[in-house]
Amino acid sequence: MMDHISICICTFRRNQMLGRLLRKLKGQDTGGLFTYSVVIVDNDASGPAKETVLQLRTELGLDIEYDIEPEQTIPAARNRTLRLARGNYIAIIDDDEFPPHDWLITLYHAIQTFDMDGALGPVYPIFDQVPPTWILRGRFCERPVYRTGTLLRWNQTRTGNVLLKKEVIDQHNLTFDLSFRTSSSDRTFFKRAMELGRRFVAVEEAPVYEIVPPERWTKSYILRRALLQGYNTYRNSVSGLRWSGRASMALKSTGAVFIYAVELPFCAILGTHKLMKCLEKGCSHLSWLLGMMGIQLIKKRDL
């Protein structure tokens, strides 16, 4: 029986971006190796994406299933897409991203070639307008890119560009952790899968492109993101650690906060990008330390 890929998309009030993504999915090269369909879960109870989805389903002739997840959290929406997926492979991509025509088949070939349970590609930023210079110089919208064949660790994973075998989910009843309401439920998912012996590989030749709006170019957004990610990374990192490991991590973060505080005035002289990079790293470690005391500074994720 031919393999089938369910492309899972969670969306929240991004109809224009979602439309761009669906048009790019229409032209995916399959090489006659698999078929694919699309699962869209609207994370807004009023269903603002429904009209866009119905229109493009007819226009593009795509096999699309649409549903609504009223609980406005990322893991709840992701879990609903998994329940609706009918393929023996699952691809996950964000609604503000879009892929090239060979996206799926490149990830598919990688899983077969490296004999892995899943493959993850890089995410590159795209700007519809020219962003401030300090954003580009500081590379605040860029993510790490790993060479093809790299066996990934859990803290190198995310669900913005991934293809995995559905058996990874079915055999272990894996879901996205609902307690990670703002971010990092994807890393928790992959961490659990790896603890169960599943393996995931990086594929540099299978990129997707993320549209970065002006709302993410502000200093406040960068610092709030650092505080949010620092707290959630702390939660993932200390899971399963003994007290000695936690103490060691606390010492490292305490030292990092002190170092970044000392460097701050010197970074300010070197330019906005250096200053913001210093503040970003300092906020991440500060949030980590506060997390150890049960304090979460940012409880709501920005768009």
**What is the percent of the chain where pLDDT is above 90?**
82
Label residue 235 by pLDDT band (50, 70, 90). Answer: confident
Tokens of 139: 């590379």
Distance CA 67, CA 42 (A): 6
Q: Residue 8: name the closest of 85, 75, 102 by CA.
A: 85
**Residues near 215 by beta carbon (within 8 Å), at least 6 away in sequence:** 221, 302, 303
CATH of domain 3-215: 3.90.550.10
Label residue 16 by pLDDT band (50, 70, 90). Answer: very high
User: Residue 302's pLDDT is what?
Assistant: 56
User: Residue 124's pLDDT is what?
Assistant: 97
DSSP 151: B
C-alpha separations of 3 from 23, 270, 286 in Å: 22, 54, 46
DSSP 25: H
**Residues near 14 by beta carbon (within 8 Å), at least 6 away in sequence:** 49, 95, 96
Lowest mean pLDDT among 78-87, 230-239, 281-290: 230-239
Give the position of tokens 């393929």: 87
User: Residue 301's pLDDT is what?
Assistant: 64
Q: Residue 273: name the closest of 107, 154, 132 by CA.
A: 132
Per-residue model confidence as pLDDT tens digits over 143-192: 999 999 999 999 999 999 999 999 999 999 999 999 887 778 999 999 99
User: Residue 69's pLDDT is what?
Assistant: 96
Per-residue model confidence as pLDDT tens digits over 98-124: 999 999 999 999 999 999 999 999 999
Which residue has better confidence, 105 or 128?
105
pLDDT at 246 over 80: no
Average pLDDT value for the chain = 93
pLDDT at 244 over 90: no
Task: Calculate mean pLDDT across residues 237-259.
Answer: 81
Task: Calculate mean pLDDT across residues 199-212.
Answer: 98
**Residues near 30 by beta carbon (within 8 Å), at least 6 away in sequence:** 36, 104, 105
User: Residue 1's pLDDT is what?
Assistant: 83
Sheet arrangement for strand 208-211? 97-98, 208-211, 123-126
Label residue 291 by pLDDT band (50, 70, 90). Answer: confident
User: Residue 66's pLDDT is what?
Assistant: 97
**Residues near 210 by beta carbon (within 8 Å), at least 6 away in sequence:** 94, 96, 97, 123, 124, 125, 126, 141, 160
Residue 102: CB atoms within 10 Å: 17
**Contact indicator for 37, 111 with CB cutoff of 8 Å:** no
pLDDT at 303 over 60: no
Task: Calculate mean pLDDT across residues 230-241.
Answer: 78
